[in-house]
Amino acid sequence: MSERIAPTRTPEFEARLKKRYASERRFRALGLGAIVFSVAVLVFLLGTMTFNGIGGFQRVEMEVPIDFTEAGIAADPAAMEQPGALASLEAQGLRDVVQYFAEEELGEAAAEELGAQAWRDVATEIIADPAVLQRSESFWLPASANLASGYEGEGSPEMQALAAGLYEEGRLAKNFDPGFLARSDATNPQQVGIWGALKGSLLTMVVTLLLAFPIGVLAALYLEEYAPKNRWTDLIELSINNLAAVPSIIFGLLGLAVFLTLFPNLRSAPLIGGMTLALMTMPVIVIAGRNAIKAVPPSIRDGALAIGASPVQVVFHHVLPLALPGILTGTIIGMARALGETAPLLMIGMRAFVATPPDGFTSPATVLPMQIFLWSDEIDRGFVERTSAAIIVLLLFLLVMNGLAIYLRNKFEKTW
Partner 1 sequence: MTVVHDNLEKTEAKMRAEAVSVFYGDKKAIDEVSIDIPTEYVTAFIGPSGCGKSTFLRTLNRMNDTIPTARVEGSIQLDGEDIYASGMDVVQLRARVGMVFQKPNPFPKSIYDNIAYGPKIHGLAEGKDELDAIVEKSLRRAGLWEEVKERLQDSGTALSGGQQQRLCIARAIAVDPEVILMDEPCSALDPIATAKIEELIAELNGRYAIVIVTHSMQQAARVSQRTAFFHLGKMVEYGRTSDIFTNPHEQRTQDYITGRYG
| Positions that interact with partner 1 (CB under 8 A) | 228-229, 299-310, 313, 317-318, 322, 414-416
Q: Could you tell me the smallest distance in angstroms from the CB atom of residue 308 to partner 1? A: 4
Which is nearer to partner 1, 9 or 229 (by Cβ)? 229
Which is nearer to partner 1, 11 or 228 (by Cβ)? 228
Q: Which of 203, 243, 246 is nearest to 350 (CA)?
A: 203
Which is nearer to partner 1, 313 or 376 (by Cβ)? 313
DSSP state of 230: S
Which is nearer to partner 1, 395 or 408 (by Cβ)? 408
- 243, exposed or middle or buried, with CB in 10 Å at 0-12, 13-18, 19+? middle
Which is nearer to partner 1, 178 or 303 (by Cβ)? 303
Q: Could you tell me the smallest distance in angstroms from the CB atom of residue 293 to partner 1? A: 15
Using alpha carbons, list the distances in angstroms from residue 260 to 86, 208, 211, 282, 402.
37, 17, 18, 20, 31
Q: Which of 120, 135, 51 is nearest to 87 (CA)?
A: 120
What string of DSSP letters covers 328-345? Answer: HHHHHHHHHHHHT--HHH
Residues ≥6 apart with Cβ < 8 Å to 354: 184, 185, 196, 200, 268, 364, 365, 366
Which is nearer to partner 1, 58 or 313 (by Cβ)? 313
Please give the Cα distance from 234 to 229 (Å, whole number): 7
Which is nearer to partner 1, 4 or 414 (by Cβ)? 414
Q: Could you tell me the smallest distance in angstroms from the CB atom of residue 316 to partner 1? A: 11
User: Could you tell me if 226 and 266 are in contact, meaning their C-beta atoms sit under 8 angstroms apart?
Assistant: no
DSSP state of 2: P
Q: Could you tell me the smallest distance in angstroms from the CB atom of residue 416 to partner 1? A: 4
Which is nearer to partner 1, 6 or 307 (by Cβ)? 307
Measured from the Cβ of residue 93, the count of other Cβ atoms closer than 10 Å reads 15
Which is nearer to partner 1, 96 or 302 (by Cβ)? 302
Question: Bridge partners of 62?
Answer: 141, 172
Q: Could you tell me the smallest distance in angstroms from the CB atom of residue 223 to partner 1? A: 15
Q: Could you tell me the smallest distance in angstroms from the CB atom of residue 325 to partner 1? A: 12
Q: Could you tell me the smallest distance in angstroms from the CB atom of residue 226 to partner 1? A: 12
Amino acid sitting at position 319: V
Please give the Cα distance from 79 to 308 (Å, whole number): 68
Which is nearer to partner 1, 313 or 356 (by Cβ)? 313
Three-state SS at 214: helix
Please give the Cα distance from 382 to 283 (Å, whole number): 40
Q: Which of 91, 49, 99 is nearest to 74 (CA)?
A: 91
Q: Could you tell me the smallest distance in angstroms from the CB atom of residue 328 to partner 1? A: 17
Instruction: Sheet with 58-67: list strands edge to edge.
Output: 136-142, 58-67, 172-176
DSSP state of 255: I
Q: Could you tell me the smallest distance in angstroms from the CB atom of residue 27 to partner 1? A: 36
Q: Could you tell me the smallest distance in angstroms from the CB atom of residue 295 to partner 1? A: 13
Q: Which of 97, 23, 18, 32 is nearest to 65 (CA)?
A: 97
